[in-house]
Amino acid sequence: MASVRDLKKDINYVLGDIIEAVYIVEAANGKQDSKEGAKVIDDAIATFDDLIAKVNQKDVENRKSHLTAVRSELETKAKSLVDDLNKLS
């Protein structure tokens, strides 16, 4: 089950880095606690909760394809969050 552990770490690191980047961009621009930044952070947290719940699902027919779909969803949602992050600057 090392792949499940690695997937959980990837979810944590990717979304954590996006949240950290929001704080860095806001600090660089002098706009602390902006509504747009808070929305990106909230979306990242919601994505984290959703993806971890999907990884922890035990009642799936094909576990390998399910986890592959979760990894793919992480990539698409992370790209969307990064696009939102780039709009902050």
Long-range contacts formed by 18-23: CB under 8 A, 24+ apart: 18/44, 18/78, 18/81, 18/82, 18/85, 19/44, 19/45, 21/85, 22/85, 22/88
CB 81 within 8 A of CB 18: yes
The confidence score (pLDDT) of residue 7 equals 95
Q: How far apart are CA 82 and CA 84, in angstroms?
A: 5
CB 51 within 8 A of CB 45: no
Question: For 33-43, what is each residue's pLDDT tens digit?
Answer: 789 999 999 99
Question: For 36-83, what is each residue's pLDDT tens digit?
Answer: 999 999 999 999 999 999 999 989 999 999 999 999 999 999 999 999
Asked whether the whole model's pTM tops 0.85, one would answer yes
